Amino acid sequence: MIEEAVDNRLSIIKSIAERIGEDKLRLDNELLLEYSRDRWAQGISSIAVFFPETTEDVSIIASFLYDNDIAMVPRGSGTGMTGGCIPLDKAVIISFDRMNRILSINKSQMTVTVQSGLILEDMQRAVESEGLFYPPDPASADICSIGGNISENAGGLRCVKYGVTGDYVLELTVVMPDGTVSRFGSHARKDVAGFDLKRLMIGSEGMLAFITEAVLKLIPLPESAISYKIFFRTSQDAVLLLNRIFMIGIIPAKAEFLDISCLNLIAKKFAFKFPEDAGAALLLSLDGSKSEIAEYEKKMKPLIENAVYVESSSGKSQDKIWELRTQISPSLKEIAPIKINEDVSVPIDVLSDLVRFCEDLAAELGLVIAVFGHAGDGNLHVNFMITEEQKDQAKKGVELLFCETVRLGGTITGEHGIGIAKAAYAGIRLDPVVLKVCREIKRVFDPKNLLNSGKVFYGELHERHLTGRII
Ligand SMILES: Cc1cc2nc3c(=O)[nH]c(=O)nc-3n(C[C@H](O)[C@H](O)[C@H](O)COP(=O)(O)OP(=O)(O)OC[C@H]3O[C@@H](n4cnc5c(N)ncnc54)[C@H](O)[C@@H]3O)c2cc1C
């Protein structure tokens, strides 16, 4: 009986390929498995992977699958950290790998129109060569897709001053789960006609509709920038400096924090030396016109006088300062077999409370917890570095961390989304009314519940669906 159902699904899938082109369908096991994982975990294998090239292809695929009650999962580049593109049921993956074209750059309108599978960095390079700027920059910019960024409302390093992905989305071409096509939003910078459905798609984690094209807002490229690497005695000193910078009216383009665990690990892996009395570091980038930068330098001087160590640079040599940030991930990989990476976010005035809480939690649970991240917008990556035996302790720690974050007025995820990884904890942050409304909205878009279902607000851990260990 089950085999018959699988055969039936396969014949429907093959008939779709006959319509859109057989080279757009892959059924080989190795690829099916590869396209059923992200950076969080390996899921169960999908039934098939489609590689559409146009909105029309996506529409044909979706309408056939929907009519035949076959589950579907949209997939960007699979760099997500919470299992968003992992199939839970035997589902068909719709990959946007081949929808990777820039359709137009409109300099006078300051917009770029792209297909959703385009790699973010490819788009950033193209618009920068025209003197324009698309600021959102997740650290995965060279490997993640624009569609994935919109679906997760990706953040990154430059969000302090410039905002997140959602702040740059003007219009989306979407394919509803049943295959119908629509456009949400417009090219206009201001648009209040009807409910803001484009905004609803931002951060929807692939659960409402497929995004096939996006019109994104651009701004002028800043003229100049200066970067600082500053070491402090304590984490609290680092956070305090950040608050003082805001108070004198400077909004840094980037403000990244590294705790002492991160510094020690980088020192070990990269033979890097930092001052003995340093207990935390802050990396800053200030950008603007040349005269603004000169002004910022003057204002910064008295604020950093008492730091343990300060280094600043401009131009190309700024890369050297930011090396410290890129060295964190490879250093973390070496110290423990399992990394549980949370990305909690709090209002900036209680950031130091969150940092202190993490230090106390590490001591209380006897775990290594390495903390770094986007301090400028209160979004920290809290990494539980553990062994298999410490898993239960870490789970307890994660729950305590989420409760404390929400108590401080913050949230359990600032940029990675809930996906499968945090579905069991959604209720800590989202009250029953919000959960109910989210489920109702899902029903309006997808009455048969076939598109990437069972995630985000279904409040269950789906470990039974994962074949590989959590990465
Ligand atoms: C080294 C590294 C650094 C990272 N740094 C950051 C960071 O600084 N900031 C940050 O925010 N994130 C970061 N991430 C996480 C990740 O890169 C982002 O979440 C990114 O937005 C995911 O894009 P993707 O194309 O890989 O999406 P995927 O992982 O393929 O999918 C993510 C979700 O989007 C949905 N989706 C994808 N494409 C579409 C589409 N076209 N239509 C509808 N739904 C779709 C999927 O179903 C899934 O739910 C990092 C990841 C890595 C590996």
Atom 34 (ligand 1) nearest CA: 148
Q: How confident is the model at residue 432 (pLDDT cuts 50, 70, 90)?
A: confident
Q: Which atom of ligand 1 is nearest to the CA of 164?
A: 11
pTM for the whole structure:
0.94
| pLDDT higher than 70, residue 73 | yes
| pLDDT higher than 50, residue 198 | yes
Q: Give me the chain's average pLDDT, please.
A: 93
| pLDDT higher than 60, residue 399 | yes
Mean local confidence (pLDDT), 133-149: 96
- Domains of the chain, start order: 2-95 (3.30.43.10), 102-220 (3.30.465.10), 223-334 (3.30.70.2190)
**How far does residue 164's CA lie from ligand 1's centre (Å)?**
13
| pLDDT higher than 70, residue 178 | yes
**How far does residue 152's CA lie from ligand 1's centre (Å)?**
6
pLDDT tens across 199-241, in order? 999 999 999 999 999 999 999 999 999 999 999 999 999 999 9
> To test ligand 1's pocket by mutation, which of 38, 59, 79, 153 has the most ligand atoms within 8 angstroms of CB?
79
| pLDDT higher than 90, residue 187 | yes
Residue with more model confidence, 116 or 429: 116
- The sign of the dihedral angle between the CA atoms of 66, 68, 71, 74 is negative
Atom 52 (ligand 1) nearest CA: 140
Mean local confidence (pLDDT), 295-321: 94
pLDDT tens across 455-469, in order? 888 754 444 444 444
Mean local confidence (pLDDT), 169-173: 98
| pLDDT higher than 50, residue 470 | no
pLDDT value at residue 332: 86
> To test ligand 1's pocket by mutation, which of 35, 53, 85 has the most ligand atoms within 8 angstroms of CB?
85
> To test ligand 1's pocket by mutation, which of 51, 152, 341 has the most ligand atoms within 8 angstroms of CB?
152
pLDDT value at residue 459: 58
